[in-house]
Structure 1
Amino acid sequence: MQKFYGGSLMLCPSFISKNIFYPVWDIWDKSKKLQVLKSLEKSQWKESVELELYQWQRFKDILNYAYLNSPYYKKLFDNKGLTPDSFRTRADLPLLPITRKLDVRNNLEKFLSVPYDKAELIQAKTGGSTGFSLELYFDKACQEHRNAAALRSDRWAGWNLGMVRGELWGNPPRAGSLKEKIRHELLDRVFYLDTMQINGDSIASFLNVCSQHNIEVIFGHAHSIYIYAKYIHEQRLSVAPLKGIIATSMMLLSHERELIEKVFACKVTNRYGCEEVGLIACECEKHHGMHINAENVLVEFIREDGTAADENEMAKIVVTDLRNQGMPLLRYQIEDMGSFSSRVCACGRGLPLLEKVSGRVADFLKTSNGDSVAGISLIERTLTKVIGIEQMQLVQDELERLKVNRVKGQGYTDNSDQILIGELKQVFGDDVSIDIWDVDSIPQLANGKYRFSICNL
């Protein structure tokens, strides 16, 4: 069964799509996306101080808007005795309680902005990998800013408007209406490899399409791209070098990045975002940290006690959407952990840097003495130390018991599991019980993503 999706009109030159179809589509769709992109292309080179002032003004604007138009935030402000004027500097941010996923799920209608008709807002849902799915809404202007920011970061990776590209997703979208089909053929110009049923035949077909259409940029789940590259490497297939690889939606492990870059002779661009606010940060061509999408989101790094974390200190990531008037989200905790850096990137952009993302809060495992362990980092370290382990997934349902779903790899011996157990006991202690389950592969979630560390405590 064919597992890639594309169109038939993608033979037109990319410069026609870029210089004719994109501008015409914006006019037809009454969109300002290209205007926003042009503005973002300029603002990224501003000095950091100027960008910070602009970002703070955007925050004040959305704060004031939410107070006047969001029933949820109006009540929250009043209960705390706050007004938008209570926030004069970033030091005042903790005055406003953090918004959590349960707050949104339990008060959805109250989050919606009064001036907007719910039926006219754009609807989205989170994937549910944190335990439950959220229903979300945003207005058209917000969507345009999100899309423009994504286009800007795509260009950092080597893609440009009009270029045909390959994408690796689970359950890829398929054009239904006439408008969607026209857009897919003339603007999006994407061929999909459905990673929910990825196999040798589907990969071979996708490779053939990439060759026929001279696809030079691929985009998709980080681990799915790794599986794709691993198959090519193991089969010793010949592929043309790529101009860009954009990995997103999952943690990009260092050994996966290394193999992907070796196979395609191209640097991987790591991108970070979420359904709730869109793009949060992305690597530039220097690949040293991720630039925060500062014109559209304000990002905080918060300790367990609610105070602001220091530079390079791992903490909870809290974001404010600076554009969404349809459903304002202020100081929203997205259940991820990360750190920031104050260093200046060699590229010269003034955008601040997200130094590291180390996974969801739910991906952090617990030791018997109460310490938290970044599961994804532990897996990455272990895979580089233990020969013969291709993949593994850590599941913690009890404090002193760890389940390991292990996929055998090249070089596996009877001693591999004992070495693995030893490595894990160094972290969790000798009293922890470690159960190793031999599996053929780590299963995907319904949205095509993978989770390699799961804490159910």
Structure 2
Amino acid sequence: MSDIYTRLVANALFPLQERLKKHDTVKVRQAMEESQWWPQQRILEQQAARLRDFLADIGSHVPFYRDLFAREGFDPQKVTGPADLQALPFLTKSVIRENKDTLRADDAQGLARFNTGGSSGEPLIFFIGTERVTHDVAAKWRATRWWDVDIGDPEIVVWGSPIELGSQDKVRLIRDRLMRTELLPAFEMSDAKVEGFIARIREVRPRMVFGYPSAISHIAGYAEKKGIRLDDLGVKVVFVTSERLYDHQREIISRLFACPVANGYGGRDAGFIAHACPSGSMHITAEDIIVEIIDGEGRVQPPGVSGEIVVTHLATRDYPFVRYRTGDVGVLSEDRCPCGRGLPILREIQGRSTDFVISADGTVMHGLALIYVLRDIPGVASFKIVQETTALTTVFVVPGPLFEAGDVGRIQEGLKRRLGASVTIDVKLVDVVPAEASGKFRYVVSRVAA
């Protein structure tokens, strides 16, 4: 049960903040909490109607789509569902860069400039309107409440984005204190920093923790190594997002904090796409988000088939994201969740396309095939694998106390078995493996896979 202060924040302070920002977040969240229990067919019918209205709107007010629809002979009024989107081209980062101004609605007001972290290449600059912000906050708020926690419950956020950290002015600090949320910067994870993080977590005794799975699992692992308990704090749930959640990360986080781990999937560019419910399903925010899965030729794939995740966000009329290629790889499901929600399910999120590697003979495989090689060597404390070309892979390794002279050869031999005997495996022993510029961590980065 939430305490009195949490109810004050969730029912008064946060709604007041949203009204002052001219966001109808409470109303949107309440509608979402009703529609999540609808039969899936009713949800999809509502989605189709919103899609038709959305496309008609941007066809009238967004120069890029007004010209595109005229050129392609596309009539939004004839749209009956997501399948009709296949008549439109994909939106990519390069298309957005080349058409930054014409993607803006001619009646858009109050657009905010955003950018992605650029961990996989050049940062993307784009704009977000009030409707998009409102709906994304509402969707996240709804999913938070699935886990018996709410805005206003004590929260620790382990994050590393320069955008969040750069906005920690006095107004935001006061607001965060009122909302009982505290940021721990995930840029530097030295032993001294992590010890300070653990001390602060123990002092705050949060009901929820939110952040990168790599950072939170690292904190949990350090606490276990030092014999520091985290299971006596009353943490109800750990929310993780922005990176792939690996099984070993889920295990150690769940065990050390003695609570479930709830995975979330989305991004600054694509929006709040899916979140795990307590029954374990990743539910798509179908009121706002249409997800397509495509193969390498751009053909839409049925549920159960892996491919790139393509997103259409129906709350982006001021700066539309229509058939946006995320670069992530996933699988849709036709299953229904035992929780009773009618929201569609994203069965798997397999990572970014650059988390896949290509062997010398052209075989495409997930980076996990390489990760397991290093995880099986006790002397490897941490690592990062960078596939430079199909002929060269660099491995950054932080050696632990059990590291042996022969471990370099074991790494090279294991990776050659997967990538090809002719591939050069350059193992570099380092003191620390740096995170990406955004503060995220990626075990595998391929400069070859796309």
Same fold (TM over 0.5): yes
The 1:81–1:400 alpha-carbon spacing in structure 2 relative to 1, beyond 3 Å, is same
Q: Which runs of 4+ in 1 moved over 4 A?
A: none
SS at match of 1:246: strand
1:214 paired with 2:205, answer yes
In the alignment, which of 370, 383, 387 is matched to residue 378 of structure 2? 387
Which residues in structure 2 correspond to 1:11-50 (within 5 Å)?
13-50=5-42
Residue 329 of structure 1 is aligned with which of 311, 321, 335?
A: 321
Q: Does 1:273 align with 2:262?
A: no
Distance 1:79 1:373 in 2: 39
Q: Say whether 1:359 aligns with 2:351.
A: yes
- Once the two structures are superposed, what CA deviation does each residue of 1:273-320 show, in whole Å capped at 9, x if it has no partner? 011132111111122x41111111101000112211132221011000
Tell me, what secondary structure is at the counterpart of 2:102? helix
SS of the residue corresponding to residue 132 of structure 1 reads coil
| CA deviation string 1:337-365 (max 9, x = no partner) | 11111111121111111111122122222
CA distance in structure 2 between the aligned counterparts of 1:152 and 1:366, rounded to whole angstroms:
39
Answer yes or no: is the 8 Å Cα contact 1:157–1:245 preserved in 2.
no
Q: Which moved more, 1:152-161 or 1:98-107?
A: 152-161
SS of the residue 1:109 aligns to: coil
Shift of 1:451: 2.3
Instruction: Name the residue aligned to 1:135.
Output: 125
The reply on whether 1:234 has 2:225 as its aligned counterpart is yes
Q: Equivalents in 1 of 2:384, 2:99: separation in Å?
A: 34
Q: What displacement does 1:395 show? A: 1.4
SS of the counterpart of 1:108? Answer: coil
Are the equivalent residues in 1 in contact too, given 2:198–2:219 (CA < 8 A)?
Answer: no
Question: Structure 1 residues 379 and 43 mapped into 2: Cα distance closer, same or farther (>3 Å)?
Answer: farther
Q: Is the 8 A contact 1:277 1:297 kept in 2?
A: no
- State which of 221, 242, 246 in structure 2 corresponds to 1:249: 242
Q: Which moved more, 1:24-33 or 1:308-317?
A: 24-33
Unaligned runs of at least 5 residues, structure 1 = 1-10
Query: Could you list the runs of 5+ residues in structure 2 that have no partner in the other structure?
Result: none
Partner of 2:430: 439
Moved more, 413-422 or 88-97: 413-422
Deviates more, 1:86-95 or 1:133-142: 86-95
Q: In structure 2, what is the Cα distance between the partners aligned to 1:212 and 1:455?
A: 40
- String of CA shifts for 1:83-135, please: whole Å, max 9, x gaps: 21453343332211111100001110010011114xx2122111111211111
Distance 1:199 1:399, change over 3 A: closer
In structure 2, give the amino acid aligned to 1:37.
Answer: R
Q: Does the 8 A contact of 2:114 with 2:127 survive in 1?
A: yes
Q: Deviations over 1:220-270 (max 9, x none)?
A: 111111111111111111222521101111111111111111111111111
Q: Scaled by the length of structure 2, what TM-score is found?
A: 0.92
Alignment partners' CA distance in 2, 1:97 and 1:198:
42
Counterpart of 2:328 in structure 1: which amino acid? Answer: D
Shift of 1:323: 0.4
Q: Amino acid of the residue matched to residue 214 of structure 1? A: R
State the distance in 2 between where 1:92 and 1:47 align.
22
Question: Match of 1:105?
Answer: 97
Give yes or no for the alignment of 1:122 onto 2:115: no
Identity %: 29
Could you tell me how far apart the structure 2 residues matched to 1:27 and 1:72 are? 32
Q: Which residue of 305, 308, 321 maps to 1:313?
A: 305
Contact 1:175 1:184 in 2 (8 A): no
Asked if the contact 1:254/1:380 (under 8 Å) is kept, the reply is no
- Residue 70 of structure 1 corresponds to 62
Instruction: Please say if residues 51 and 351 of structure 1, whose CA atoms lie closer than 8 Å, have aligned partners that are also in contact.
Output: yes
Is 1:407 aligned to residue 398 of structure 2? yes
Equivalent position of 2:340 in the other structure: 348
Alignment of 1:125-204 (within 5 A): 125-170=115-160, 171=162, 172-173=164-165, 174-176=167-169, 178=171, 180-187=172-179, 189-204=180-195
Structure 1 residues 254, 62: closer, same or farther in 2, change over 3 A?
same
The 8 Å contact of residues 321 and 328 in structure 1, kept in 2 or not, is answered as yes
Contact 2:387–2:447 (CA under 8 A) maintained in structure 1: yes
Q: TM-score, normalised on structure 1?
A: 0.91
Against the structure 1 CA distance between its residues 215 and 338, is the aligned structure 2 distance closer, same or farther, given a 3 Å change threshold? same
Describe the superposition over 1:38-83 as per-residue Cα deviations: whole angstroms up to 9, x where unpaired.
1111111111111111111121121111211111112222222222
Q: Give distance in 2, aligned partners of 1:160 and 1:132.
A: 36
Q: Which amino acid aligns with 1:82?
A: F
Q: Distance in 1 between matches of 2:101 and 2:403?
A: 54
Measure the CA separation in 2 of the matches of 1:245 and 1:121. Answer: 32
Once superposed, what is the RMSD of the aligned Cα atoms? 2.1
2:15 maps to amino acid: P
Q: Which amino acid aligns with 2:182?
A: F
Give the SS at the match of 2:127. strand
Q: Conserved in 2, the CA contact under 8 Å of 1:302 and 1:309?
A: yes
Q: Distance in 1 between matches of 2:71 and 2:364?
A: 34
**After superposition, what is the alpha-carbon deviation per residue over 1:148-194, rounded to whole angstroms, capped at 9, x for unaligned?**
1011122234421211200111255354254x34432323x211211
